[in-house]
Amino acid sequence: MMVNICLFGILTGLSGIAMSTIDKFMINSMIDLSATGIYSVAFYFSVLILIPSKSVRNISLPFVAEFMKKKDFKGIHNIYLKSSINQLVLGFLLFIGIWANIHNVFKILPPEYEAGKYVIFFMMLAKLFELATGVANIVIATSRYYRVQTYFMIILLVLIIVSNLIFIPIYGIVGAAMASAISSFVFNFLRFIFVYRKFKMQPFNLKSGTLLIITTVSYVASFVIPVFPNFILDILIRSIFITIIFGSLIMLFRVSDEVNEGFNSIIAKLKIRK
C-alpha cells in the first residue's frame, strides 16, 4: 500500500514539474527565445496569487488526513469550505491589486515586456481557479482514491500540450497563457466534480458569490483614482485605496470568519497597548 502511494506521489510530483516548464519549452520551439523570456517574467507575477495557498495547505494537510482516517467527513467539509474562501479572499485582493496597477508594472519593465500584459491576466486567472477548489487535492490524496490525483495530472499535461498547439500559433505568448487558464479550469473542475461525487461536498456557498461581487466593486472603484505621473506614488495610493475598499467590504459582510477574527484580535492588542 505505502509503495503504491509513494509511486503515485512521485508521478504526481514529476507531472507538476513538467506542467510548469512545458509551456515555456513550446513557446521557445514555436516562437523564439525572446518570447520565452517575456512569458517567464509575466509568469512570475501570477505566482504571487498562489502565496495564500501554501500556508493554508500545509496547515490543512494533517487535519484532513486525521479526519479522513476517522471518516469525519463533516470536519473535512468544514476545512474544504474555509480553505476555498480564505484562499480566494487573499487571491482576489492580489489579483485586483496587480491588475489595477498593470500600467505601473510596465513602467518598471522594459517596453518590449508589455507584450506580456495579458499573459499576466490569464495566468493569474489560472491560479485563481486553483485557489477556488481549496484543498480538493489534499482530500483526494489522503483518501483511498489517491491514484486519481495522478490521472488528473496526466490529463492536465495532455490538455496543456494540445491547447498550446492550438492557441500559440494564433495568439502567441498570450495564447500560451490562455491555454494554461483553460487547462487549469478543466483540471480543477474535474477535481471539484470528483470530490462532490465521491464525498458529497463542495467548497462554495453564498459567501463565494458575495466575494465575487466585492472583488468587482473594489476593482471598479479603483477607476476613480487618477493616474499620477510618479508611478511609485500611483502604486501606493491605488493599492491602499483598493485594500481599504476590499477589506472594509469583506469585514462588513463577514465573508471570512478568520479575517474578521484576525482583524478584531489586532484591534484588541492595540487597545491593550494604549
Indicate the pLDDT class of residue 270, thresholds 50, 70 and 90: low
Amino acid at position 118, single letter: Y
Does residue 230 form part of some domain? no
Instruction: Please list, in sequence order, all residues whose beta carbon lies within 8 angstroms of the beta carbon of residue 194, skipping any fewer than 6 positions away.
Output: 136, 140, 145, 148, 152
pLDDT score of 198 more than 60? yes
Does residue 223 form part of some domain? no
| Contact of 45 with 102, CB cutoff 8 Å | no
Does residue 232 form part of some domain? no
Q: Which structural domain range is residue 63 located in?
A: 2-217
The rounded percent of the chain whose pLDDT value lies above 90 is 62
Mean pLDDT of all residues belonging to the chain: 88
Report the alpha-carbon distance of residue 242 to residue 240 in Å, rounded: 6
Task: Give the number of other CB atoms < 10 A from CB of residue 29.
Answer: 10
pLDDT score of 101 more than 60? yes
pLDDT score of 223 more than 60? yes
Using DSSP, state whether 214 is helix, strand or coil. Answer: helix
Task: Give the number of other CB atoms < 10 A from CB of residue 223.
Answer: 8
pLDDT at residue number 240: 96
| Contact of 89 with 51, CB cutoff 8 Å | no
pLDDT at residue number 13: 53
Does residue 227 form part of some domain? no
Which of 41-50, 84-93, 190-199 is least confident?
41-50
pLDDT at residue number 153: 84
Would you state the torsion angle of the CA atoms of residues 107, 112, 117, 123, taken in this order, to the nearest 10 degrees? -120
pLDDT at residue number 52: 73
pLDDT score of 10 more than 60? no
DSSP state of 75: H
Tell me which of 21 and 104 has the higher pLDDT.
104
Residue 54, Cα to own-chain centre: how many angstroms? Answer: 10
Tell me which of 78 and 270 has the higher pLDDT.
78
Cell numbers standing for residue 198: 465521491
pLDDT at residue number 157: 87
Number of structural domains found in the chain: 1
Which residue, chain included where needed, has cell 491547447? Answer: 163
State mean pLDDT over 124-129: 91
pLDDT score of 2 more than 50? no
Does residue 200 form part of some domain? yes
pLDDT score of 15 more than 60? no
Indicate the pLDDT class of residue 20, thresholds 50, 70 and 90: low
Does residue 106 form part of some domain? yes
Residue 89, Cα to own-chain centre: how many angstroms? Answer: 10
Does residue 36 form part of some domain? yes
143-180 pLDDT, tens digit per residue, is 999 888 888 888 888 999 999 999 999 999 999 999 98
State mean pLDDT over 194-199: 96
Indicate the pLDDT class of residue 132, thresholds 50, 70 and 90: very high
Would you state the torsion angle of the CA atoms of residues 54, 59, 61, 64, taken in this order, to the nearest 10 degrees? -130
Report the alpha-carbon distance of residue 184 to residue 170 in Å, rounded: 20
Does residue 272 form part of some domain? no
Amino acid at position 27, single letter: I
Burial class (CB in 10 A: 0-12, 13-18, 19+), 11: middle
- Provide the b/e sequence for 233-248 (b: ≥16 CB within 10 Å): ebbeebbebbeebbbe
